[in-house]
Structure 1
Amino acid sequence: MSSVPALPRTARLQLRPFQAADLPAFAAYRANPAVARFQSWEPYTAAQAEAFVASQAGATIPGPPGTWVQIAIARADTDELLGDCALCLQADEPRLAEIGITLAPAQQGQGYATEALRALLEYCFRELHLHRVMAVTDCLNHGSVELLARVGMRREAHFRQHVWFKGAWGDEYVYALLGQEWQQNHG
């Protein structure tokens, strides 16, 4: 990759780097215990949110292999921050990547997560020419399980009591999609 492709836009959304103006919305949803429930992080403090947005503003997307980069999900018409998605190219094989997504509770149930994840997958396969993209989710996170299936990802694994997570052993599902599968379904 000699140049970094532009992040995608859809009819309703734009995926873009974080900016300072995102801080209030980001801090609000990342402080919400319901949002943090299935995430590796605990609810953010205001200082943590400020440091995170500052660290991600202007970040190169995709980041260096092995580095997670958060991408803002914003409304295309108002630039209002709705949530964020994550992308990490695998350290030892950068044609493989892992993705994730978080939406503010008020933005859930409106198709934004599906639209954003489809746009991110298209970016991964068409622009970055990745071979395989995967996502890991807590088996109890039914919204995420349904979302990953809805965007065409296949459940490849069920790891039982695989992770010590917030005081208990937790099960995880692994979902994945190959670039050739994406191409077959999306031309």
Structure 2
Amino acid sequence: MMDMPRFSVSYGRIRLRPLLPTDHPSFATYRADPQVARYQGFAPYTAADAAAFIEANAQTPIPPEPGQWVQLALTRAADGVLLGDCALHRQAAEPRFGEFGITLAPAWQGQGYAREAVLALLGYCFEELVLHRVLALTDVRNQGCVHLLESVGMRREAHFQHNGWYKGEWCDELQYALLATEWAQRSTPASPDEKIGAPNP
């Protein structure tokens, strides 16, 4: 099992590392934003919610055990600024299947950071964890996320109608996936991401 404080994955301008108590001010600020939470599985956070989440998340190893989710800090490699966070999950029934989510603070959206984070996460999943398949779900209305997932070469596999109850309404979700063989054969796309990424727990 990987030692959490030593976990670090980089790609381009970003670095993924463990989420730390010192991240609380920035983490609490962007997760309190209703627009950030709009297409996510969480409601806007309070400061106490953010502190409790970071504390609980610190008990989860990186990589997570099958059936667990773990949250990773998404930082700018040059100066360590927290840009957002990523979630990583391994399925309990089939640990070689993974799922991820991503949240980016509004100030850093539309600059390609989310795309670099997803590529870093996919590389970690396929090259370090040797996963067979990785998926992501997104609300159909979140076109920024749709563009992001397609820009890194993920395939749209399904359109699930009324697949989740979020913010007081049923929503349709799209499922995207990528296989290890597809990752190995990829040609890295050049287009940057838009807005918010895939749903984050």
Q: TM-score, normalised by structure 2?
A: 0.88
Which consecutive unaligned segments of at least 5 residues does structure 2 have?
A: 189-201
State the identity %. Answer: 56
C-alpha displacement of 1:8? 1.2
Counterpart in the other structure of 2:133:
132
User: What letter corresponds to residue 147 of structure 2 in structure 1?
Assistant: E
**What's the counterpart of residue 113 of structure 2?**
112
Distance 1:10 1:121 in 2: 11
Partners of 2:99 and 2:134 within 8 A in 1:
yes
CA contact (8 A) 2:2 2:61 kept: no
- For 2:32 and 2:132, the matched residues in 1 are separated by 35
CA distance in 2, matches of 1:110, 1:166: 27
Q: Tell me which residue corresponds to 1:24.
A: 25
1:96 is aligned to 97
In structure 2, the CA distance between the partners of 1:51 and 1:102, relative to structure 1 (3 Å rule), is same
Q: Residue 167 of structure 1 aligns with which residue?
A: 168
Q: How many angstroms does 1:161 deviate by?
A: 1.8
Map of 2:42 onto structure 1: 41
Q: Which residue of 2 aligns with 1:56?
A: 57
For each residue in 1:108-152, what CA deviation from the matched residue of structure 2 results, as whole angstroms up to 9, or x when unmatched? 011000000001000000000000000010000111111000011
How far the C-alpha of 1:62 sits from its partner, in A, is 1.4
Deviation at 1:3, TM superposition (A): 5.1
**Cα separation, 2, equivalents of 1:70 and 1:33:** 20
1:152 aligns with 2:153: yes
State the shift of 1:56 in Å.
Answer: 2.2
* Structure 1 runs not aligned, ≥5 long: none
Q: Which amino acid aligns with 2:82?
A: L
> What is the root-mean-square deviation of aligned Cα atoms in Å?
1.7
Query: What is the SS of the residue equivalent to 2:10?
Result: coil
Task: Give, in whole Å, the separation in 2 of the partners of 1:146 and 1:110.
Answer: 13
Report if the CA contact (8 A) 1:17-1:58 is conserved.
no
Q: Is the 8 A contact 1:17 1:59 kept in 2?
A: no
C-alpha distance in structure 1 between counterparts of 2:8 and 2:182, whole Å: 21
Question: For the Cα contact (< 8 Å) 2:156–2:177, is it kept in 1?
Answer: yes
| Distance across 2 between alignment mates of 1:82 and 1:13 | 9
Maintained 8 Å contact 1:17/1:56:
no
State the 1:42 CA deviation. 0.5
- Contact 2:7 / 2:18 at 8 angstroms: preserved in 1? no
Offset at residue 169 of structure 1 (A)? 1.6
TM-fit CA distance, 1:11: 3.3
- 1:177 is matched with 178
Query: Displacement, 1:167?
Result: 1.6
Counterpart residue identity of residue 112, structure 2: G
Equivalence for 2:14: 13
Total equivalences in the alignment: 186
Cα pair 2:69 2:87 within 8 Å, conserved: yes
Distance 2:64 2:33 in 1: 27
